[in-house]
Structure 1
Amino acid sequence: MKITEIKSCFVGPVISPEQFIAEHFFLFLAKGEMNAYDGTKHYKLKPGESCMVRKNRLARYNKIKENNEFEKVIFIFDEPFLKDFQKKHHILFKNHPSKDAFIRLKKDKLMDSFLLSLEPYYNGSGDIGKTFSDVKREELLLILLQLHPELSDVLFDFGVPGRLDLEKFMQQNYRFNVSTERFAFLTGRSLSAFKRDFKTIFNDTPNRWLVKRRLQEARFLIEEQKQRPSDIYLDLGFEDLSHFSFAFKKEFGMTASELLDKI
């Protein structure tokens, strides 16, 4: 069996579907392709490639099926598991932390053998049963740290994000569809401090500013780049096309489609 023939597998706690990475996780892609964006950098993952995805980051994914199939292996490394692992194995820090949200991992026979070893443990839903899931998570993490010792600085840093330049962060990340609470956390502020600082900088509430900023970008993309509303609304943080169309007409007096027809 080739590693690109592996079926989808998910091990660890459930992760949030929002565009915020709450826990570190390992991702191996068996079939299809995946494009990702973290606000500053684009990433591409092809079949047979793997990466570590960092927690406390904003990220957006776009998966491309191969022959109508998309198969991946995901292992979640949540904080309680990592703290237990650290105590057990006396982890040392290398002081070379990566700044990327998606850390590409090198291919290795040891990793290939591990991935192939998962097949006998799959249950009917493609998951690994609780009896063996933590054992396999520990095995995978030992392999990762052997191949990439520098990951210790990423995985075992249990601190919270520090205080950031709020204006710069929001202008860079306004497209991500996450809650105000997440934005506050990522900029190193309590919710009340975030709202207070936001009002001082932007003279508006976070929710109103986000909608206006996204709509301004939408108008630019339509007028200057001739992009269709259906192609941009998700990337701009709107959950559905009807909400985007309603907000656009309310802001500019015409729908996005009407603006496109006028150009």
Structure 2
Amino acid sequence: MATADIKSCYIGPEISDEQFIPEHIFFFLAKGFVEGYDGHNKYSLHSGDYCLLRKNNLARYAKQKENDQFEKVVVVFDEPFLKDFQSKHAFNTGPSYTEGTFVFFEKSDLVPNFILSLASYYQKDGKIAKSFSDVKREELLLILLQLDPGLANVLFDFSTPQKIDLKAFMLQHYRFNVSLDRLAFLTGRSLSTFKREFKQLFKDTPSHWIQQMRLQEAFFQIRQKKRKPTEVYLDLGFEDLSHFSFAFKKKFGVAPSKVGINH
């Protein structure tokens, strides 16, 4: 597929750049390579690939440029938009039909042709005017529902997360850098209930337990898997290499760069 006329574009309400997904997000990769992770599986996207990221999940991705370029189109399907769409179109809803954060579709010319159609709507700032963005979002949503009618079960489910197994969730997601409020919400608990049950279960506070789990995993990755500190600290939820190195040395008595030399 030719991508020469595609520019990076963001359609829909602004969403903070965090690892919690508050709304359904359609992601089209025009140029580059992306490796995504949702706590369960890793997913790879190449130029021309596309997927939907489901709301109320955790996810992160690492990107690589292609010929020194990285271009994507991101379309956010927020709840008010989806409710308005649902009022115009008849789609039956039911239980979510799949697990996981990333939903992929069978390849179809409909999607890349839609992406190419956006070129004439770009403004100088690389965005699309509000008067056109809702129309284009509706067009894309109709395409996706045609490709996968069962997607209606996911998109039009406006319920909040139900109470789930706290231990299993935390062991699977401690690497994600999100607030305790988000973690409580995703496990179907209030913040106070989350903290109380966490303390009863792990005999520790959430913040301290999360850091210790990350440091233990870092030690394993560096010593056993022979990975470099610069390769692991972001994967484990540390935003800053110097902070990671300080916390690591405080816990293990040795800098992460020195692990394996005398240990």
* TM-score of the superposed pair, with normalisation by structure 1: 0.96
Residue 95 of structure 1: how far off its partner (Å)? 5.0
SS of 1:261 mapped into structure 2: coil
Task: Give 1:262 shift.
Answer: 2.5
Which residue number corresponds to residue 86 of structure 1? 86
**Cα shift readout 1:165-211 (whole Å, capped 9, x = no counterpart):** 11111111111111111111111100000000000001111001011
Deviation sequence 1:4-37 (CA, Å, 0-9, x none): 6411111011112111111101111111111101
1:250 corresponding residue in structure 2: 250
Structure 1 segments (4+ residues) deviating >4 Å:
none
Q: CA deviation at 1:233?
A: 0.4
1:107 maps to 107
The residue number in structure 2 matching 1:45 is 45
Look up the match of 2:187: 187
Decide whether the 8 Å contact of 1:16 with 1:22 is kept in 2.
Answer: no
Quote the Cα distance in structure 2 between the aligned partners of 1:194 and 1:96: 25
Aligned partners of 1:161 and 1:185 also within 8 Å: yes
Mapping 1:198-209, distance limit 5 Å: 198-209=198-209
Whether 1:214 aligns to 2:251 is no
* 1: CA distance, partners of 2:257 / 2:153: 48
Distance 2:234 2:110 in 1: 39
Q: Which amino acid aligns with 2:241?
A: L
State the identity as a percent: 58
- Normalising by structure 2, report the TM-score: 0.96
Correspondence for 1:9? 9
Aligned residue type for 2:200? T
Contact 2:3 2:31 in 1 (8 A): no
Task: Say if 1:96 and 1:59 are closer, same or farther in 2 by CA, change over 3 A.
Answer: closer
Alignment of 1:150-165 (within 5 A): 150-165=150-165
Tell me if the contact between 1:35 and 1:45 (Cα under 8 Å) persists in the aligned partners: yes
Matched letter for residue 185 of structure 2: F
Note if 1:171 corresponds to 2:171.
yes
1:36 is matched with which residue? 36
Task: Give 2:69's aligned residue.
Answer: 69
- Separation of aligned partners in 2, 1:93 and 1:188: 22
Superposed CA deviations along residues 204-248 of structure 1, whole A, max 9, x for unmatched, are: 110010111111111111221222111100001111101101111
Aligned residues: 263
Q: Is the 8 A contact 1:10 1:73 kept in 2?
A: yes
Distance 1:191 1:85, change over 3 A: same
Paired residues of 1:4 and 1:31 also in contact (CA < 8 A): no
1:3 shift after superposition: 4.1
CA drift of 1:259 comes to: 2.2
Q: CA RMSD in A?
A: 1.5
* Letter of the structure 2 residue corresponding to residue 229 of structure 1: P
Structure 1 stretches lacking a partner, 5+ long: none
